[in-house]
């Protein structure tokens, strides 16, 4: 079984090296997608034992994940894992994430911040926005209530599942789009607890305002309905 990690990265030059080194122990190969960063993200990533692809201009996390997933399929992955470049995901969760797939019990495994393992340093406002977002996913998108953390970026899937999950949202709306596809396609999915780490560094990341992100996601999902 060839397990390939897909790591989208946008302006992560200061974080990505340590993150990649920690991931290397868990993956056979890693595909980093530098999302048109203006910093040295691609250059520092190229120093590591990973494939580095580069978007000529910034296209968003969803677009980067799709590029990386296509690349992983081309590289002959059996299992594909989506994982962030900013060190918010705990590498120690990776074996648990991949296990249900290796044991043939699931096609898709999703990480969740709300299954018992407390996130480190999560601001209260973020928690509220995530909870509200979950209800939006349930009511507006018909995502099953069983999914406790629809906005989580940590997921693993079989190559077959990756081929079947057809997602086109370029930004953060990809998470809901993927979930909708997974929960309606007959793929076997399971959620596992994941430890997410919020640091001052991650919260201050340039050009990010997560509360307005929530509205942007809803808007993109709405417009996406009319875009084919």
Partner 1 sequence: MLIQILLVLGFVLALWITWKRYRQDVITLIEALGWSVLCVGGGVISLLPKLTEYLAAIFGVGRGVDLILYAAVAIQFFLIFKLFVSHEKTERLLTKLVQNGALKDLSFRPEEQERWSGEILVNQDSSTRHTPSE
Ligand X SMILES: Nc1nc2c(ncn2[C@@H]2O[C@H](COP(=O)(O)OP(=O)(O)OP(=O)(O)O)[C@@H](O)[C@H]2O)c(=O)[nH]1
Give residues 180-209 in contact with ligand X (rule: CB under 6 A).
202, 205, 208
Is residue 86 involved in binding Mg ion (CB under 5 A)? yes
| 114 lines the binding site for ligand X (CB under 6 A) | no
CB of 189 to partner 1, least distance (A): 26
User: What angle do helix axes 124-141 and 174-184 make, rounded to 10 degrees?
Assistant: 50
Candidates 2-10, 88-96, 100-108, 171-179 — which segment interacts with Mg ion by CB under 5 A? 88-96
Cβ proximity to partner 1, 54 vs 126, nearer residue: 54
DSSP symbols for 166-214: -----STTHHHHHHHHHHHTT--EEEEE--BB--HHHHS-TT--HHHHH
Contact in structure between 4 and 32 (CB atoms under 8 Å): no
Nearer to Mg ion, 48 or 213 (CB): 213
Q: Which CB, 102 or 203, lies closer to Mg ion? A: 203
DSSP state at residue 145: T
Are the CB atoms for 203 and 123 separated by under 8 Å? Answer: yes
Instruction: Tell me if 12 contacts ligand X by CB under 6 A.
Output: yes
Minimum Å distance from CB 118 to partner 1?
36
Tell me if 9 contacts ligand X by CB under 6 A.
Answer: yes
Q: Which is nearer to partner 1, 173 or 192 (CB)?
A: 173
Q: Answer with the entry of Mg ion, partner 1, ligand X, none that 12 interacts with (C-beta below 5 to 8 A by kind).
A: ligand X
Which of 12-20, 86-94, 114-122, 178-186 is the region at the interface with Mg ion (rule: CB under 5 A)?
Answer: 86-94
Residue placing its CB nearer to ligand X in the complex, 86 or 93: 86
What's the start-to-end Cα distance of the chain, in Å? 35
d(C-alpha 166, C-alpha 143), whole Å: 16
Interface residue with ligand X among 153, 176, 192, 220 (CB under 6 A) is 153
CB of 107 to Mg ion, least distance (A): 25
85 by Cβ neighbours in 10 Å (0-12 / 13-18 / 19+) ranks as: buried
The whole-angstrom separation of Cα 206 and Cα 152 is: 20
Of 14, 58, 148, 183, the one binding ligand X by CB under 6 A: 58
Q: Which of residues 33 and 194 has its CB atom nearest to partner 1 in the complex?
A: 33
Q: Alpha-carbon distance 182 to 196, whole Å?
A: 22
């Amino acid at each position: 079984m060839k397990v390939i990690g897909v790591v989208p990265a946008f302006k992560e030059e200061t974080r990505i090296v340590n993150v990649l080194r920690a991931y290397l122990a868990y993956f056979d190969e890693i595909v980093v997608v530098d999302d048109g960063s203006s910093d040295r993200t691609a250059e520092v990533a190229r120093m590591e034992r990973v494939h580095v692809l580069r978007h000529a201009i910034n296209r968003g996390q969803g677009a980067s994940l799709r590029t990386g997933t296509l690349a992983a399929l081309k590289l002959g992955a059996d299992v594909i894992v989506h994982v962030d470049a900013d060190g918010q995901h705990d590498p120690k969760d990776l074996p648990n994430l991949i296990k249900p797939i290796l044991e043939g019990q699931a096609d898709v495994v999703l990480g969740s911040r709300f299954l018992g393992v407390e996130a480190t340093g999560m601001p209260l406002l973020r928690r509220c926005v995530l909870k509200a977002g979950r209800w939006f996913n349930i009511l507006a998108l018909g995502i099953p209530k069983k999914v406790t953390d629809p906005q989580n970026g940590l997921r693993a899937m079989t190559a077959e599942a990756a081929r079947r999950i057809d997602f086109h949202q370029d930004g953060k709306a990809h998470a809901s789009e993927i979930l909708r596809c997974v929960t309606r396609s007959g793929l076997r999915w399971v959620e596992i607890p994941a430890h997410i780490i919020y640091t001052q560094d991650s919260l201050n990341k340039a050009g990010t305002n997560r509360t307005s992100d929530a509205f942007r996601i809803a808007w993109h999902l709405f417009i996406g309905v009319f875009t084919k």
